[in-house]
Chain A
């Protein structure tokens, strides 16, 4: 698997480590996450999203999932913090 990822990274010119790993874009009142593995926990004050590196925990007020797809999701609301926990 590692070889395949390495070849793919070589072909597409992307860093090897970025394949399959989450990409998180933080904006003023939204967080965009790519390559997630699903919601672990959701309430209006905290959303935990499973990723390859661990769990991304988004804290804030009135959090809402504006878009939820297999590969990406967008969380909107008053975002206070975004942290990566259980990192391996």
Chain B
């Protein structure tokens, strides 16, 4: 008997009589297969056969003058036996209840399509709404969660929250943020948004206050919107482009020293620096400085550092 027979059930047949060999011969001729035929004594044998052929065996045994007693075995036989029936029903009931209980809950949260927003922050936002693994699926308010996520992350244009099986999926699509267009009717300066060394200044409107080679600090005015003379100042909206060399620097320390550790440290430090560099910047130079277990990465980039700051006039 193999495992399939165990699952489908089989019969253990006790044979008593003088013509056991004839019975076996006639049964196999009728297409009944036996397994584990064992002679217990001269007139007694035991064999196993498929449950569905027991009626045929009984019929042939009557013709051969052999007494047959059958005992059901295998999984169905065990379940149907009186002692195990209650246990089997309880087991099935408990398993059904477990499946129903688990199936009605969210066991996992998948987040996809959020490059601009980190998964961790989305999970935190969801947990603040009460959406976390283990909660009931009936309590998930997908519409409300979508609205709250859209409000929390303006960079997202579309959010879809859905539950499929035991997995809650958040699919997000980032929107394209339109470029900032300054209001040219209002007077404004162009100021530096980063520290750097000015490489070129092109003032299309307004007055350049820095020249190439000047080191500037963040917030410093680069192109002033105040023109004219001191006696008769004229306020304009400064326009132009200012390119500067900006230095990005990061240091990472390893808990132990070694060649491989330092190599990994260089890569990690460089990646950390790259994360801070905007996509529009042009990398000019990359330098590393390292000690036994510390790596410093310096990246010099060329990028535009000007930003508009409106001039607030007195009495406005």
Contacts and interface: CB of A to CB of B under 8 A. Distances in A.
Nearest to B38: A64
Contacts of A69: 28, 33-34
Interface stretch (A13-21, A22-30, A36-44, A51-59): A36-44
Contacts of A64: 36-38
Contacts of B47: 65, 68
A69 B47 CA distance: 13
How many chain B residues sit at the interface, stated as a range, is 10 to 19
B21 A70 contact: no
Given A38-B28, A38-B29, A43-B42, A68 B35 contact: yes
Contact of B39 (A44, A66, A70): A44
A3 interface: no
A67 B35 CA distance: 4
A68 B33 contact: yes
Contact of B20 (A38, A42, A63, A67): A42
Nearest to B28: A70
B234 interface: no
Contacts of B315: none
B62 to A, nearest CB: 19
A39 B33 contact: no
B53 interface: no
B48 to A, nearest CB: 10
A64 B37 CA distance: 6
Contact of A68 (B31, B34, B39): B34
A65 B31 CA distance: 17
Given A68-B24, A70-B31, A42 B39 contact: yes
Nearest to B34: A68
B78 interface: no
Interface residues of A, number: 15
B34 A70 contact: no
B24 A66 contact: no
Nearest to B25: A38
Nearest to A71: B28
A43 to B, nearest CB: 5
Interface in B19-68: 20-21, 24-25, 28-29, 31, 33-39, 42, 45, 47
B39 A43 contact: yes
A37 B25 CA distance: 8
B42 A70 contact: no
Contact of B21 (A41, A44, A63, A66): A41
Interface string A52-88: 0000000000011111111000000000000000000
A13 B245 CA distance: 87
A68 B37 contact: yes
A39 B39 contact: no
Contacts of B28: 38, 68-70
Contacts of B20: 42
B306 to A, nearest CB: 90
Query: Top 4 closest A-B pairs, CB basis?
Result: A38-B25, A65-B37, A68-B34, A39-B21
26 contacts: A38-B25, A39-B21, A39-B24, A39-B25, A40-B21, A41-B21, A42-B20, A42-B21, A42-B24, A42-B37, A42-B39, A42-B45, A64-B36, A64-B37, A64-B38, A65-B34, A65-B38, A65-B47, A66-B36, A67-B34, A67-B35, A68-B28, A68-B33, A68-B34, A69-B34, A70-B29
Interface of B: 20-21, 24-25, 28-29, 31, 33-39, 42, 45, 47
Given A38-B25, A65-B37, A70-B31, 11 more contacts: A38-B29, A39-B21, A39-B24, A40-B21, A42-B24, A43-B39, A43-B42, A64-B37, A67-B33, A68-B28, A69-B33
